[in-house]
Amino acid sequence: MYELIRPLLFQTDPERAHQSVIQVMRWVGKMPVFRKLLRAYFQSEHKPVHVFGLTFPNPVGLAAGYDKDGIGFRGLSVLGMGHIEIGTVTPLPQRGNPKPRIFRLPADQALINRMGFPGRGMAFVKDQMEGAGLDDLILGVNIGKNKDTPNQEAIRDYLALLRGFSDLADYIAINVSSPNTIGLRRLQAKEHLMALLEELAAERDQLVKSLNKPLPLLVKLAPDLSNQELDDALDAIIQAGVEGVIATNTTVGRMGLESPLAGETGGLSGKPLARQSTEMIQQIHRRTSGGLPIIGVGGIFSPADAVEKLEAGARLVQVYTGLIYQGPGLIKRIVDVC
């Protein structure tokens, strides 16, 4: 079915097409009959994964960036995934970078985006998440600073978001690795990351006591870190007591692309990122002796791609670009094999 729909979607501006899909899923989420039918069609075997102090129904999730404002997650939840990561959410609404800012590269089975965290802000997303009622589905929230917040004041934004979503999210993903907000990736440097994570972890510990629920923190890393930069980031993550990492975000590399749009600036995702993200998972797994749980992201287009990341050391995987190219049936195919 998706093979018939995809050509129509791909004739539409990428951002507009995506917004249309999100609106359809929002509608599905409000219609119990359609939710029930789709859930039955996409239902997968229950394959729980215990990690970060949480129990995920299965190892496959939806990466941040797909449902930035938490508009479509109720409808998306019927597609068989075990978790959904909403965001990236910023404290205040912002427009993001000028359009056009998403580009399809079909010849490379890839996307380039330079969105820049567009979104309606924390208050709006919190309203969407209230009373989620999604049984055992895990909901994560990916958080980032506003564009106009200088790095030296970034902790203010991250703390506000942590506090704001503490009672609604099952986990918080700290985004310091998007290439589309100027200067953000500098927060991955050891001294900056250590200061940020120590304060966030201390605040999280207080929130856990008052809420009487776990609230694991994860850090989403860039695939473009050098070996030394990765070691430094991992040292900061472990010393701060953060529960895990998401590997990886999009890349600024252009790894032999064929598309004429390859020169567009922004973060590259999809098939060309697969090997790079898997190699980073292997490095993290090896350097932490398997002690730091990993969510693997990047270039998952088939069950074999997901298995490769799990065998490299990931405990869970997330899809995004593969879902756009392969359709929602990809999730069930992966779960059935993993």
Distance CA 7, CA 327 (A): 12
Residue 124 has a pLDDT of 98
Please list the residues that pair with 246 across neighbouring strands: 220, 295
Write out the residue range of the structural domain in which residue 127 sits.
2-337
Mean pLDDT (10-residue bins), the chain, 338 residues: 85 96 94 90 91 97 98 95 97 97 97 97 97 83 97 97 97 94 90 95 97 97 95 96 97 93 96 97 98 98 98 98 96 95
pLDDT of residue 65: 97
pLDDT for the residue 135: 72
User: Catalytic positions, please?
Assistant: 178
> What pLDDT is stored for residue 255 in this prediction?
82
Close Cβ partners of 299 (under 8 Å, ≥ 6 residues apart): 269, 270, 271, 272, 273, 274, 275, 277, 278, 305, 321, 322
Per the omega criterion (within 30 degrees of 0), is the bond before 100 cis?
A: yes
Q: Which pLDDT score is estimated for 5?
A: 86
Domain count, the chain: 1
Q: Which of 259, 236, 244 is nearest to 293 (CA)?
A: 244
For residue 73, the model assigns a pLDDT of 96
Q: How many CB atoms lie within 10 A of CB 30?
A: 10
Closest to 62 in 3D by CA, of 147, 138, 115: 138
* CATH number for the domain harbouring residue 300: 3.20.20.70
Q: How far apart are CA 200 and CA 156, in angstroms?
A: 10
CB 159 within 8 A of CB 197: no
Judge whether 71 and 22 are in contact, CB under 8 Å: yes
Cβ contact 138:77 at 8 Å: no
3-state DSSP helix/strand/coil percent for the chain, to nearest 5? 45, 15, 40
- Cα–Cα distance for residue pair 43/105, rounded to 1 Å: 31
